[in-house]
């Protein structure tokens, strides 16, 4: 079995904004037990920025908005987090390896294969990869958004059997349990719907970027990769062993789908932020669902402010999202030429969104 374990900032930091050594020690001990039982493990760890704030003179409750300060915090905190993992894993006779990934590592085929080769080699040697985004140098316009998405993409990268998202609550509830005492834990999710996102709410933490909605988004990516996701509480005793058992009766399990899509299409479909919408007629919708590209003749109208190569949502005449893709025409091009046939606009690409750059959202 191969698992990717993601643990959030709220589970790795103390109330004072320092590294929660006990949490990493617990995680390291449980990872050791998995590896002894033949499980291959990759860890995606948050909290670098959170624990780097205090050494720079900032308090958790007064997180700066200055990008340079946040990048500096990430640079300082990454050493603190990784060194703690190294010490705690060493206490269990394991070695850690630090890996900082960037979106290009998933976009570029050569870098994608090199990343996979590296992780496979480390796992074969029972060395634990500790992965984070390179937040110190990350481009705000081109980033993973948060480590939940990164973990899901890593799960696809290494062809994992399970993605385990460790957080500070027991799983996904019917509503926010912090505000609704009648909220009930959802044990199994077969399909991720808009209603589930509505129930998920936002992040309740001062130290992390993600919340339950972020974890659902990551689970969508993992599910489309054929990877099962479990969302559960990091403080649960023997949490990793229970998750990897034959009957993982813990937290919320999101089932994997049988049909897999490529890493690039996962990135387009679930990780990029759409810059606009393209409304299409029924004929174009039918063509898209039959694995065709989107042509200008089928577009009714466009909204948003986008240029070529931006991500856009494709919606039907009722406003229901059906696909997402990288557009080859700008908004101004579409305003000028929408509804025209390809041969009437020879200076532009034949397709507005090519099928290779398009993901159908209805699973």
Mean pLDDT lowest among 4-13, 205-214, 309-318, 341-350: 205-214
Give the β-pairing of 2-7 and 40-45.
Answer: parallel
Over 80: is that where the pLDDT of 211 sits? no
In this structure, the answer to whether residues 312 and 255 fall within a common structural domain is no
Same domain (yes/no): 260, 287: no
CA distance readout (Å), 336 to 279, 293, 309, 342: 15, 20, 18, 13
Tell me which of 265, 294, 321 is where a domain ends. 265
**What is the pLDDT averaged over residues 319-333?**
91
Q: Is pLDDT of 39 > 50?
A: yes
Mean of pLDDT values over 335-343: 76
Answer yes or no: do 193 and 328 share one domain. Answer: no
State the pLDDT confidence band at 161, using cuts at 50, 70 and 90: very high
The number of domains in the chain is 2
The CATH number assigned to the domain holding 80 equals 3.40.1160.10
Which of 265, 296, 327 delimits the end of a domain?
265
Percent of the chain with pLDDT over 90: 53
Residues 13 and 126 in one domain: yes
Residues 180 and 294 in one domain: no
Verify that 116 and 45 share a domain, yes or no: yes
Pairwise pLDDT comparison (258 vs 112), residue with the higher score:
112
pLDDT of residue 144: 58
State which of 25-29, 149-153, 182-186 shows the largest mean pLDDT.
25-29
The pLDDT value recorded for residue 330 is 92
User: Two tokens at 1?
Assistant: 């079995």
Contacts of residue 156, defined as CB under 8 A and 6 or more positions apart, other chains included, come to: 221, 222, 225, 227, 263, 266
Same domain, 162 and 283: no
Average pLDDT rounded to a whole number, residues 318-323 = 90
pTM, two decimals, is 0.81
- Which residue would you say has higher pLDDT here, 181 or 294? 294
Q: Which of 181, 94, 91 shows the shortest CA–CA distance to 129?
A: 94
Q: For residue 330, give the CATH number of its domain.
A: 2.30.130.10
Q: Are 318 and 220 within one domain?
A: no
Same domain assignment for residues 126 and 156: yes
**Are 244 and 280 part of one and the same domain?**
no
pLDDT at 204 over 60: no
Q: Which residue has the higher pLDDT, 165 or 339?
A: 165
Domain of residue 309 covers 273-360
Strand partners of residue 191: none
Same domain, 306 and 243: no
What is the percentage of the chain residues whose pLDDT exceeds 70?
92
Label residue 363 by pLDDT band (50, 70, 90).
very low
Task: State yes or no: pLDDT of 306 exceeds 90.
Answer: yes
- Which pLDDT score is estimated for 17? 86
Residue of 327 and 363 predicted with greater confidence:
327
**Cβ atoms < 10 Å from Cβ of 107:** 14
> Last residue of a domain, which of 227, 246, 265?
265
What angle is formed at CA 229 by the lines to CA 225 and CA 230, rounded to 5 degrees? Answer: 175
CA 130 distance to own-chain centroid: 16
Same domain for 238 and 285, yes or no, is: no
């Amino acid at each position: 079995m191969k698992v990717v374990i993601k643990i959030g900032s709220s589970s790795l930091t103390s109330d004072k904004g320092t590294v929660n050594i006990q949490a990493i020690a617990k995680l390291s001990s449980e990872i050791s037990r998995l590896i002894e039982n033949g499980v291959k493990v990759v860890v995606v760890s948050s909290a670098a920025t959170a624990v780097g704030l205090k050494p720079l003179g900032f308090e958790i409750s007064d997180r700066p908005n200055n990008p340079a300060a946040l990048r500096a915090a990430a640079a300082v905190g990454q050493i603190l987090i990784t060194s703690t993992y190294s010490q705690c894993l060493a206490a269990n006779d394991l070695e850690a390896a630090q890996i900082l990934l960037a979106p290009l590592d998933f976009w570029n085929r050569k870098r994608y294969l090199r990343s996979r080769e590296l992780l496979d080699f480390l796992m074969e040697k029972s060395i634990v990869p500790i992965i984070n985004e390179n937040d110190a140098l990350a481009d705000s316009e081109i980033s993973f958004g948060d480590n939940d998405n990164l973990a899901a993409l890593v799960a696809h990268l290494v062809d994992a059997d399970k993605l385990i998202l460790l957080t500070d609550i027991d799983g996904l509830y019917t509503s926010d349990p912090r505000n609704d005492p009648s909220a009930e834990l959802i044990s199994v999710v077969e399909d991720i719907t808009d209603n589930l996102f509505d129930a998920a709410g936002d992040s309740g933490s001062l130290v992390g970027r993600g919340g339950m909605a972020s974890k659902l988004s990551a689970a969508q990516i993992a599910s489309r990769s054929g990877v099962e996701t479990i969302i559960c509480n990091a403080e649960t005793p023997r949490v990793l062993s229970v998750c990897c058992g034959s009957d993982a009766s813990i937290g919320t399990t999101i089932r994997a789908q049988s049909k897999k899509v490529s890493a690039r299409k996962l990135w387009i479909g679930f990780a990029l932020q759409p810059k606009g919408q393209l409304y299409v007629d029924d004929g174009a919708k039918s063509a898209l669902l039959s694995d065709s590209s989107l042509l200008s003749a089928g577009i009714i109208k466009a909204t948003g402010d986008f240029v070529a190569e931006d991500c856009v949502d494709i919606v039907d005449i009722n406003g229901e999202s059906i696909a997402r893709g990288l557009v080859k025409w700008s908004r101004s091009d579409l305003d000028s030429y929408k509804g025209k046939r390809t041969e009437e606009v020879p200076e532009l690409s034949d397709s507005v969104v090519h099928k290779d750059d398009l993901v159908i959202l209805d699973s």
